[in-house]
Structure 1
Amino acid sequence: MDHSTHQHHSGTAHQHRPSAPASWAAAAKATLHCLTGCAVGEILGMVIGTALAWGNVSTMVLAIALAFVFGYSFTLLGVRRAGLDLRTAVKVALAADTVSIAVMELVDNGIIALVPGAMDAHLADRLFWTSLLGGFAVAFLLTTPVNKWMISRGKGHAVAHTYH
């Protein structure tokens, strides 16, 4: 019995794959995919928290939570369309995106926290948007090598690509 075929069809998200070099283009594409979900969630969280005049910590917690929700949901929808059951799709999304989203959120929220006045800026303030978008740009640059390393080891977005 061919166990590699059996593992693939069993839907397990924790398959052992041989290491293979990942291209920078593949890593950038995976990072852009992750950034899209993170940006949607984070911007929504920042807008909601700022519009409701929540404190900085509450707003950032909401933004980070929504970044994970949207980041996972983009992968979840893709692998569900590929035919995976919900339970397996959730496992794949968690395996594919957790590290990438975590690094991205750490970097971009760290930048927002470090830019003087950014945490107190309002939606109409240029500083709000430039620090947010600048944080995303730096997060993209720092997360891409992480994704390249993970994909080369059969982890991260390599898990999701098994089902596409």
Structure 2
Amino acid sequence: MAQSYTALDTILQSPWFLVAWAALMLPSLALVIRDLRTRNAHLMPLMKWVWALTVVYSGPLGLAVYWWSGRKEIAADGQWRRAARSVAHCYSGCGLGEIVGLTLAVGILATPTTATALITFAFAYSAGFALTVGPLMQEGTGFGQAARDAIYSETPSIAVMEIVAIGVDLTLAGSAGPTQVLFWSSMIVSLSCGLLAAYPVNLVLIRHGIKAGMMDPRNTDHAHG
């Protein structure tokens, strides 16, 4: 186990890890953007950002999630695919909050581990919360009701996602800061771990009617390009 961890640490500290990641992520992002523009331009602008950010954070894994659940070309829909769209929606906001929180806590404030975890969680939760409340209010829901709905439906998913992601990141990165390769490579690994951990949570929430899940992409008909 110790040897495996040492080998992983060596890989994550290598600049070639980030080069390899860029070589995988950038073509995946280009493919998603092209597909969203040419085949799935009808999707809501919010979901286009969701899918783009999901791929930025998780590269080919994010692309696979989009291809399997987020396109009008899917053969059928169901709870498994709805959960995938739901976790991607949560992930897009929380991932952004996590990146900002970690960079602020470690790179600028140089906080100890516990404070870093709390600051990062606060930023991630706030971003995920805003990404849920904002669209609800645009649909006419009052802030109070939208906030209650977001807390009730999103807290379990965000909590599991961020506990796993932050835990993995702090374990792998140690005291590394934004000027070090390990800081960014650990974040890449941790974000995808959070996505995978939160998927079954979203599936359970949808099955129990706590979350509705994101709309079937085959049934959206927006004029947005």
The TM-score, its normalising length taken from structure 2, stands at 0.57
Q: Name the CA shift for 1:91/1:159 in 2 (closer, same or farther; >3 Å).
A: farther
Q: Name the CA shift for 1:159/1:145 in 2 (closer, same or farther; >3 Å).
A: closer
Partner of 2:168: 111
Residue 60 of structure 1 aligns to which amino acid in structure 2? Answer: A
Residue 39 of structure 1 aligns to which amino acid in structure 2? Answer: G
Structure 1 unmatched runs, 5+: 1-20
1:145 equivalent in alignment to 2:200: yes
Write the distance in 1 (CA, Å) between the matches of 2:135 and 2:120.
23
Write the distance in 2 (CA, Å) between the matches of 1:132 and 1:153.
32
Q: Name the CA shift for 1:160/1:96 in 2 (closer, same or farther; >3 Å).
A: farther
Provide, for residues 29-87 of structure 1, a one-character-per-residue CA deviation record: whole Å limited to 9, x for no partner: 11111111111111111111122222222222111011111110100001001110111
Contact persistence 1:32–1:140 (CA under 8 A): yes
Write the distance in 2 (CA, Å) between the matches of 1:77 and 1:53.
32
Q: Please, which of 79, 90, 104 is the counterpart of residue 23 of structure 1? A: 79
Alignment RMSD: 1.8
Partner of 1:74: 131
Partner of 1:123: 178
Task: State the SS of the aligned residue for 1:83.
Answer: coil
Structure 2 unmatched runs, 5+: 1-76, 216-225
Residue 122 of structure 2 aligns to which amino acid in structure 1? Answer: A
Task: State the SS of the aligned residue for 1:136.
Answer: helix
Task: State the SS of the aligned residue for 1:107.
Answer: helix
The TM-score, its normalising length taken from structure 1, stands at 0.78
Q: Name the CA shift for 1:160/1:26 in 2 (closer, same or farther; >3 Å).
A: closer
Partner of 2:141: 84
Higher relative contact order (CA 8 A, sep 6+): 1
Q: Please, which of 77, 85, 94 is the counterpart of residue 151 of structure 2? A: 94
Q: Please, which of 130, 134, 158 is the counterpart of residue 212 of structure 2? A: 158
Residue 91 of structure 2 aligns to which amino acid in structure 1? Answer: L
Residue 123 of structure 1 aligns to which amino acid in structure 2? Answer: P
